[in-house]
Structure 1
């Protein structure tokens, strides 16, 4: 699997749903294993050297972020625009437990099927061809990745599409990027995930300025592939978010799994992604760029203050915020505070100020208010 470490703090810190939108884990059954002894540094190196690119499996995801049940509002919020639909979908995936099937064959072939009780949502990439399908709504979005001449490389994914339902590898990448002197790295009990023996890598912040208590990553002992990620809020013995494989095969999936054609009667929308790539070959700033789109952000580039686990991302949304603040989802989830409104989850805080700024981080809400007041 491509070993590109993403900055995890910006990824989880843009409108609350980004940490949660990392959907996939209800969590795979685990048991003890008997493995050769390794140091934490050796397990980190094992992950870094992982080259698994072809696999298929079932992902189980569960979230307990302290969010209220907004299913009625999210399904009937009356928002007809793309941002409202994106936020509603993210919130729905951020609560409870969910199951997904995933198929991967290199960086340019990926299919994720999020399985609902009576419906299915698919995200498919086959080379430059992208599809997002909702069987319940009978809708599909189709896009074509820009060519090199448009600023993207063939291996790039557009913002927010590199997985749709992030794999444990994608989640682990975001957290492992933060491994520095502010993080204690240790090993927990060896375990078995999806029938594979795994080391348990534990990341513990060395600061009180974060809501994250620890992150546990199950690392496949043979390949170094992350099999499960659990994120614990400070002071909690139960994971606030977890994603892991319950089934996993390292065989190459059949090529026809990546050939998608919408069923008859599907309403298809074509999307132009050319303006979502910034010309530097990185696809336009990764996960944070997608979050900005979901919020209807046309403001400034995000700035980051603080360090490590206590980092705070700030951006100016610009324009009239009435569309956001008048949404029933917003009033249900946000709490009015001096100078704005706060959305608080077990792992992430988000502050929307009255003057149109958005501050977010895996930090207590009062730290966001202090940062906003210091401007």
Structure 2
């Protein structure tokens, strides 16, 4: 049964990890400065894709700014100490973070705002999460046999994605760049138009502008623009533009970056005086992960998600993900104070819907839609509400 450790520090771990994944994984937003006079050599879209797919991230440090306005109800509170509100804060408003990275076992992520700072830091086997707002810190000693954060070499296009491909094959012909680049482009061309739209200067560095445009007219996404560093191939900025829009609805990227290895002292951490420190055992974290593995899981200890609880209707950019057994009340039951009030206000803004598929509530934004049905199903996709309503009637989405 969850205790205070699972309901508070573990949620902080999840919050920090989620924000870090969104900001670093999406890879970075920054100022838009055209670089028509850049001296970068010409590169094709296929060549840039293969660079991204085989990217080996080198040490770096930088400041990242994330901003979003996807058309959701405005949040009245900036609390980000709980996972649901942290995720919502990423979808409306802006965030600033400092990132230091040496390798998968050595990194620091500091999320900052006008009044507080939260740090997620790993230095070898020591993993810390610290919040200045609550003067609290959580500490975990990572077991020696734990695998590091490497993605197994799959890169940003590994696995089946929205581009209609099956991911980069393990036997990619890296010794034949032209063949490999052609293969990369062929894998996503059926559903996506890919172009190089000149160059730009991002965080003071020259970068290629790689643009992906869904060919599927049902997709709410008009284009995804990636600024790819001309020297390291590191993504410096990602912008997501809604269909029929001219400005990004979501943007994340570097405003400054250095590819010098951060000093080792950057990863040393001593809790400030007055900080309440809680030691987390690996087994406790495993229990927390199990507790949060299934959306809407209760507190009876049965939290495993069965593969049959998840299915996908459609393909490519108009894919709809279906989750079963979702209980919105239980999802928000652990929230307290301002976080609970913010969640309640947000839920009150959801649109009531009904049809042959049943009844429920919908969250509609410029880039994605979520349909929460009273029968426990949740459908989500980068598509309009009517596509989700149609998908809810598909046999693949049945309970």
Same fold (TM over 0.5): yes
Instruction: Tell me the residue number matched to 1:332.
Output: 348
State the alpha-carbon separation in 2 of the partners of residues 320 and 60 from structure 1: 31
Runs ≥4 residues deviating over 6 A = 18-21, 275-278
State the alpha-carbon separation in 2 of the partners of residues 232 and 101 from structure 1: 25
Instruction: Tell me the residue number matched to 1:214.
Output: 223
Instruction: Tell me the residue number matched to 2:49.
Output: 44
Which structure has the higher relative contact order (CA within 8 Å, separation 6+)?
A: 1
> What SS is found at the alignment partner of 1:71?
coil
Instruction: Tell me the residue number matched to 1:30.
Output: 33
Instruction: Tell me the residue number matched to 2:316.
Output: 308
> What SS is found at the alignment partner of 1:190?
strand
> What SS is found at the alignment partner of 2:389?
helix
Shift of 1:294: 7.1
State the alpha-carbon separation in 1 of the partners of residues 278 and 295 from structure 2: 17
Matching residue within 214, 218, 241 for 2:250: 241
Q: TM-score, normalised by structure 2?
A: 0.72
Instruction: Tell me the residue number matched to 1:165.
Output: none
Q: Larger Cα Rg: Structure 1 or Structure 2?
A: 2
CA gap 1:356/1:337 in 2 versus in 1, 3 angstroms: same
Instruction: Tell me the residue number matched to 1:109.
Output: 106
Q: TM-score, normalised by structure 1?
A: 0.76
Backbone CA RMSD of aligned residues: 3.3
**Contact persistence 1:29–1:193 (CA under 8 A):** yes
Name stretches of at least 5 consecutive residues in structure 2 with no aligned partner: 1-17, 164-187, 334-339
CA gap 1:69/1:307 in 2 versus in 1, 3 angstroms: same
CA gap 1:323/1:52 in 2 versus in 1, 3 angstroms: closer
Shift of 1:61: 1.2
State the alpha-carbon separation in 1 of the partners of residues 83 and 20 from structure 2: 12
- Residues 113-122 or 211-220, more deviating: 113-122
State the alpha-carbon separation in 2 of the partners of residues 87 and 50 from structure 1: 31
CA gap 1:222/1:348 in 2 versus in 1, 3 angstroms: same
Aligned pairs (5 A) from 1:118-133: 118-133=115-130
Cα deviation 1:227-275 (Å, max 9, x = unaligned)? 1000011111000001111111000001121222322222334445558
Name stretches of at least 5 consecutive residues in structure 1 with no aligned partner: 1-17, 77-81, 158-169, 279-283
Instruction: Tell me the residue number matched to 2:260.
Output: 251
> What SS is found at the alignment partner of 2:108?
strand
